[in-house]
């Protein structure tokens, strides 16, 4: 039987965390959104407020509803405010040491019956679960960017997850109107295992001169019906995030399809992380993105 969830803690108000917090608040949950400092927290909350205002402008939400959603989100920089959460979802930097440090601290603060969930895109769930005193109440809840729009949540069961915690996570994702797909704790789960080699292959095709970035992207949109071409998608996900996911997958499977192509490695050294840094396969400094001719 699933546990009752009323209050949700979200760690990290970045690209994924702010969206995860917004979706939970829109689904009626009280949300405590935690960031490391106030400036980063306000940036994340600002993004949520912008989305809510846009929904009101478009007539998709009433001002009253938008205010109620915003009112359910409480921002903090203090772990202590997560003590009474029923479910805590982490969406911090994709670094195992940082995640372990965070869970160890939270484990002593958050009530013992609460379920912990990681939004990791590639790290093993069990490695995080085992660092807590509640490995049976630990799952993966993997959202997709933008979390407000993408329908899927992968619900990951690791070897220690209890039936009750897994059912709680499945029902929670469904209560947010998401399609909850159960999957095993195998690096990359379902989507990234397939999507990451696809984006890497697009980078290899670009390296080999099969087409320009724009040609590769337009071809996949028009020829395969994808909403975004693979290089636009790589910029959208973040080339740094893509780089760390493929490093984890390569480490796990030792297969060439998961290896960073040299172009990606060089772009990361240059600090070209895609849309978030203003430049990647495209340059985002103008009105509309243009191809980065410096690659």
Q: Return the active site residues.
A: 121, 142, 154, 192
121 binds ligand 3HC (CB under 6 A): yes
**Euclidean distance between CA atoms 85 and 106, whole angstroms:** 11
The token pair at 206 is: 């670009």
Choose, by CB under 6 A, the member of 192, 249, 250, 264 that binds ligand 3HC. 192
254 binds ligand 3HC (CB under 6 A): no
Query: Nearer Cβ to ligand 3HC, position 146 or 214?
Result: 146
Residue found by looking up tokens 């600090």 in the block: 271
Sign of the four-CA dihedral 198, 201, 205, 207: positive
Q: What's the closest the beta carbon of residue 139 comes to ligand 3HC, in angstroms?
A: 16
Q: What's the closest the beta carbon of residue 152 comes to ligand 3HC, in angstroms?
A: 9
186 binds ligand 3HC (CB under 6 A): no
79 binds ligand 3HC (CB under 6 A): no
b/e map 142-165, b = 16+ CB within 10 Å: bbbbebbeeeebbbbbbebbbeeb
CA distances (Å), origin 125, targets 72, 185, 218, 223, 286: 29, 6, 36, 36, 40
From 170-178, 210-218, 227-235, 246-254, span contacting ligand 3HC (CB under 6 A): 227-235
Report the residue number whose CB is nearest to ligand 3HC. Answer: 121
Q: Helix (H, G, I), strand (E, B), or coil: what is residue 282?
A: strand
Q: What's the closest the beta carbon of residue 4 comes to ligand 3HC, in angstroms?
A: 28
**Euclidean distance between CA atoms 29 and 6, whole angstroms:** 6
Q: What's the closest the beta carbon of residue 148 comes to ligand 3HC, in angstroms?
A: 4
Choose, by CB under 6 A, the member of 89, 91, 139, 237 that binds ligand 3HC. 237
**Euclidean distance between CA atoms 138 and 188, whole angstroms:** 18
Write the interaction track for ligand 3HC spanning residues 89-118; mark x where CB under 6 A is met and - where it is not: ------------------------------
Residue found by looking up tokens 């001002």 in the block: 63
Sign of the four-CA dihedral 286, 291, 294, 295: positive
**Residue 78 CA, distance from chain mean position:** 22
Q: What's the closest the beta carbon of residue 198 comes to ligand 3HC, in angstroms?
A: 11
145 binds ligand 3HC (CB under 6 A): yes
Q: Compute how many other C-beta atoms are within 10 angstroms of the C-beta atom of residue 29.
A: 22
From 50-58, 66-74, 108-116, 126-134, span contacting ligand 3HC (CB under 6 A): 50-58
User: What is the contact surface with ligand 3HC in residues (CB under 6 A)?
Assistant: 51, 54, 58, 60, 121, 144-146, 148-150, 192, 195, 227-228, 233, 237, 241
């Amino acid at each position: 039987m699933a546990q009752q969830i009323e209050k949700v803690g979200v760690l990290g108000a970045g690209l994924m965390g702010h969206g995860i917090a917004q979706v939970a608040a829109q689904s009626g949950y009280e949300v405590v959104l935690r960031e490391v400092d106030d400036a980063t927290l306000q940036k994340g909350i600002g993004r949520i407020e912008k989305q809510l205002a846009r929904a009101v402008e478009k007539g998709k939400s009433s001002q009253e509803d938008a205010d109620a959603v915003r009112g359910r989100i409480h921002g903090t920089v203090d772990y202590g405010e997560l003590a009474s959460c029923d479910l805590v979802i982490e969406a911090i930097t994709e670094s195992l040491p940082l995640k372990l440090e965070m869970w160890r601290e939270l484990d002593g603060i958050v009530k013992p019956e609460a379920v912990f969930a990681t939004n990791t895109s590639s790290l093993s769930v069990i490695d995080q679960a085992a660092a807590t005193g509640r490995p049976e109440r630990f799952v993966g809840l993997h959202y997709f960017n933008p979390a407000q729009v993408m329908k899927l949540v992968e619900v990951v069961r690791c070897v220690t997850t209890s039936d009750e915690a897994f059912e709680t996570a499945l029902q929670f994702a469904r209560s947010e109107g998401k399609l909850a797909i159960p999957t095993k704790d195998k690096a990359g789960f379902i989507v990234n295992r397939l999507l990451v080699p696809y984006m890497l292959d697009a980078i290899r095709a670009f390296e080999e001169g099969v087409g320009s970035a724009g040609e590769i992207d337009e071809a996949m949109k028009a020829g395969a019906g994808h909403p975004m071409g693979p290089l636009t998608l790589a910029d959208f996900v973040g080339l740094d995030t893509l780089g760390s996911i493929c490093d984890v997958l390569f480490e796990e499977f030792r297969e060439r399809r998961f290896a960073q192509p040299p172009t990606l490695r060089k772009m990361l050294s240059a600090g070209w992380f895609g849309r978030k840094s203003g430049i990647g396969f495209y340059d985002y400094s103008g009105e509309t993105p243009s191809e980065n001719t410096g690659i």
